[in-house]
Amino acid sequence: MDKSKKIQIKNFEITVLTKKQDDFISLTDMARFKNAETTGLVISHWLSTRYTVEFMGLWEQINNPNFNITEFSNIKNESGSNGFVLSAKQWIEKTKAIGIISKPGRYGSGTFAHKDIAFEFGSWISPQFKYYLIREFQRLKEDENDRLKLDWNLQRTLAKVNYHIHTDAIKENLIPAKRTIISIE
């Protein structure tokens, strides 16, 4: 099951989706910082640059054993040329990419990218935006780690209390206090 959280960057709320222990950040939310009315175009323009295609191809080759390298080579050869436009959906379908997720629908929809890729997108938007994105993301992860430590300590304490309750119950109810031996003579 996917879990989502929000981070705040310069008065823009950005969704962070956790899927199978990997964090995916909403490129759609990030694109609103650059141009609120044409978020899909902002993402497509970024995806169409040669540098982005090369970076995403490298990321996929390292992280995705099912990545279609042949189709990637075709896209890479076309990237950067006039008229070349690549959508997230096309990238995913053609290359079997896992670093970008395109979620259709009314609620929770949009384009999400693995944090490594999302940070690159943040650089393309602006260096200042990337800096604040990384800081807020790190703050979110530190908060999660603090909560996990607290949960772990609570679980440990509960286990200790339960152990004492069970051992005391066994002593009181199952082990007789004293046995009296009666001898018959």
Domain positions in the chain: 3-144
pLDDT at 184: 73
Sheet containing strand 12-19, strands side by side: 3-9, 12-19, 22-26, 110-114, 100-103
134 near 40, Cβ under 8 Å? no
Per the document, the length of the chain is 185
pLDDT at 158: 64
Report how far residue 97's alpha carbon sits from residue 120's, in angstroms, rounded to the nearest whole number.
16
User: Per-residue pLDDT tens for 99-124?
Assistant: 999 887 777 788 999 999 998 998 88
User: Per-residue pLDDT tens for 116-169?
Assistant: 999 899 888 888 888 888 888 788 778 777 666 655 555 666 666 666 676 766
User: Per-residue pLDDT tens for 10-46?
Assistant: 778 888 888 888 889 899 988 888 776 777 788 998 9
98 near 63, Cβ under 8 Å? yes
Report how far residue 59's alpha carbon sits from residue 98's, in angstroms, rounded to the nearest whole number.
10
Q: Which of 113, 78, 116 is nearest to 98 (CA)?
A: 113
Mean pLDDT of the chain: 82
7 near 14, Cβ under 8 Å? yes
pLDDT at 146: 66
What's the pTM value of the predicted model, to 2 decimals? 0.70
